[in-house]
Amino acid sequence: WFWDITSLKRLHLRGCELSGTFPDELGNLTLLETFDVQGNNIQGMIPATLKNMCNLRSLGLSFNNIGGGITEVIDRIPNCSRKNLQELALMDANITGTTLQFVTNLTSLYVLNVHGNQLSGSVPVEIGTLANLTYLNLGNNTLSGSVPAEIGTLTSLTHLYLGRNNLSGLISEDHFAGLMNLESLDLSSNNLDVIVDSHWMPPFNLESAWFSSCHLGPQFPKWLRWQKSTKILHISNTGLVGKIPYWFWTTFSDATYLDISLNHLSGNLPLNLEFMSVIKLLMQSNLLTGLIPKLSRTTEILDISRNSLNGFVPNFQAPQLRAAALFSNSITGTIPKTICRMQKLRVLDLSNNLLSKELPDCGIKELKQGNPSSNNSSKVRSLRYFSLRITSFLLSNNSFSSGFPLFLRQCPRLVFLDLTQNKFTGELPGWISEAMPGLVMLRLRSNKFSGHIPVEIMGLQDVRILDLSNNNFSGAIPKCLEKLKALTHTSTSNNMSFDNPFEEGYRSSMSMSSSLSNDSFLVVIKGQLLEYRENTLYLMSIDLSCNSLI
């Protein structure tokens, strides 16, 4: 009955779970100006009966399985509407082709989105004829060759996305000459050299910029200093060398996402970044030295791993921090006591550092400072109320000493605990399973723990990785190993539900901070050093070797 409503001008069927093919009767709607069927499961080419839709202004076919070549798709658009078509959305539609020359016939386009297809060939110089274009997205295809300078004549352009292609060659001032309205630019994941004069002042003020894997260096681009409206900046792996300029932190003080990782940036960081608005700050794999600064109240994710930082500033603060990757630095001393006040912290990776002594005990005094509204209840209830929310705590390859950390009594939500390769001593306490009932991974390998393995540890019903190897444990292996219920299950990997404790912990801890670059760990199994990444989800292991057990 739909196709009898021939007076329709606008038809929006986005995300309606439609399937099958386009019906030929679609051509009955000759007055249609807007046709949007994005986000369905429609398969096959649009019908040739569209030839009578001479009023078509907007065609949205994204997120379907159109298939076929781009030339065939364009041929199905009515000739009589091509010069009036203002919006063409073909994102993730499984379209192939080696030419984008069709753009010369669509001179009225405001929006062109062919992101996420299999288009190859080059970006045609005729792109400059689309004078009305405000949004151009050619990203995530296999386009090659250079970017034509004619793109710089599109004075109305606000969004330009060319990322994730095979583009190469030079990007110069000419490519940006007329883009005074540009707000968002993506050139990432190409082989492009962005070379502009050191005194060049861009005509635009970007809100978001992606340059990852382009070549911007070796000097830090001075033109970025004028981008004071930028909220998102990605300049990772861009060949930058030397110190981060002093103006960087003030210019991007209002940015929420900063990624300067995988460069050769050196020198010390400012000791105080509390004035910034950044939520996600990525600086891993550089040559940074000095102290880890006080962070903004807005910062939730910090990755400063694989640098040469040597400690924390006094009274280190990060009140909103949820995930911190600080591994593979040269951090000495102890973990700051202010961690006891980080009530939102979920993931903390300090492995491969030079930390020593013992962990803060997070006594009631420290915890109350993070929860000033507390009442005068009993100490036991208070400690439970003030418990931390850490789910992933990784401290391997440091020099921590003393007994099993009392700090962990305040971590009832812990899922992943790795204390391998330290100098912890003494016996394991019986409260491990009571204080951390949801542990899925408990790794204590290569320490100096001694005594009997407590029977209570077998109360960890969710544990799948239990590594107590290379310590000084003695006595009999507990006979109640069968209480480790998760290790007796045989669920297949394809049927693991989200309420599975390992998957839930894995997603909340690791996937929450997918940018954190230490999403793997090493396991010694039968003398082999094996690296596990996403497949950690399916590993089950007990290792009690290299002790004095009977």
Same domain, 456 and 543: yes
Same domain, 481 and 389: yes
Tell me the C-alpha distance between 528 and 42, whole Å.
49
Domain final residue, candidates 257, 286, 321: 321
The Cα-based distances of 97 to 74, 109, 508 in angstroms read 11, 20, 40
DSSP summary character for residue 91: T
Q: Is residue 338 part of a domain?
A: yes
Q: Which H or E element spans position 74? A: helix 70-76
Per the structure, the count of domains in the chain is 2
Same domain, 455 and 361: yes
**Residues 6 or more apart in contact with residue 29 via CB below 8 angstroms:** 3, 5, 6, 8, 11, 35, 53
Cite the beta strand spans of 273-379 per DSSP E.
280-282, 287-292, 301-303, 308-312, 323-325, 332-333, 347-349, 354-357
Which is nearest to 518 in space by CA: 351, 294, 389, 406? Answer: 351
Same domain, 482 and 447: yes
In this structure, the chain runs to a length of 550
Q: Which H or E element spans position 249? A: helix 247-251
Q: Is residue 198 part of a domain?
A: no
Q: Is residue 99 part of a domain?
A: no
Cβ neighbours of 229 (radius 10 Å): 13
DSSP summary character for residue 221: P
Same domain, 314 and 335: no
213-217: long-range contacts at Cβ-Cβ below 8 A with a sequence spacing of 24 or more?
A: 213/188, 213/189, 213/237, 213/238, 214/171, 214/187, 214/188, 214/190, 214/238, 215/191, 215/239, 216/240, 217/241, 217/263, 217/264
Considering the entire predicted model, what is its pTM?
A: 0.89
Tell me the C-alpha distance between 126 and 151, whole Å.
9
Same domain, 428 and 304: no
pLDDT in tens, the chain (550 residues): 888 899 999 999 999 999 999 999 998 999 999 999 999 999 999 998 888 899 999 999 999 999 889 888 888 888 888 889 999 999 999 999 887 777 778 889 999 999 999 999 999 898 999 999 999 999 999 999 999 999 999 999 999 999 999 999 999 999 999 999 999 999 999 999 999 998 999 999 999 999 999 999 899 999 999 999 999 999 999 999 999 999 999 999 999 999 999 999 999 999 999 999 999 999 999 999 999 999 999 999 999 999 999 999 998 989 999 999 999 999 999 999 999 989 999 999 999 999 998 898 887 554 455 554 444 444 444 444 468 999 999 999 999 998 999 999 999 999 999 999 999 999 999 999 999 999 999 999 999 999 999 999 988 989 999 999 999 999 999 887 778 888 877 544 333 333 343 344 444 444 444 333 455 667 777 777 788 776 666 788 899 999 999 9
Same domain, 281 and 387: no
Q: Are 81 and 105 in contact (CB under 8 A)?
A: no
Residues forming a β-bridge with 135: 111, 159
Q: What is the pLDDT of residue 371?
A: 53
Q: What is the pLDDT of residue 495?
A: 34
Q: Is residue 496 part of a domain?
A: yes
Q: Is residue 273 part of a domain?
A: yes
Tell me the C-alpha distance between 247 and 257, whole Å.
17
Q: Is residue 385 part of a domain?
A: yes
Same domain, 289 and 366: no
Domain final residue, candidates 321, 338, 360: 321
Amino acid at 497: S
Dihedral sign, CA of 488, 493, 496, 498? Answer: positive
Domain extent at residue 248: 241-321
351-354: long-range contacts at Cβ-Cβ below 8 A with a sequence spacing of 24 or more?
A: 351/327, 351/394, 351/395, 351/396, 351/397, 351/398, 351/418, 351/518, 352/327, 352/328, 352/396, 352/397, 352/398, 353/326, 353/327, 353/328, 353/329, 353/397, 353/398, 354/330, 354/398, 354/399
The Cα-based distances of 394 to 38, 122, 388, 461, 521 in angstroms read 43, 47, 15, 21, 10
Same domain, 441 and 357: yes
Cβ neighbours of 55 (radius 10 Å): 16
Domain final residue, candidates 261, 295, 321: 321
Same domain, 393 and 448: yes
Q: Is residue 439 part of a domain?
A: yes
DSSP summary character for residue 198: T
Tell me the C-alpha distance between 389 and 376, whole Å.
22
Q: Is residue 199 part of a domain?
A: no
Cite the beta strand spans of 363-453 per DSSP E.
392-394, 399-400, 416-418, 425-426, 441-443, 448-451
Same domain, 361 and 313: no
In CATH, what number is assigned to the domain containing residue 447? 3.80.10.10
Same domain, 309 and 338: no
Q: What is the pLDDT of residue 50?
A: 87
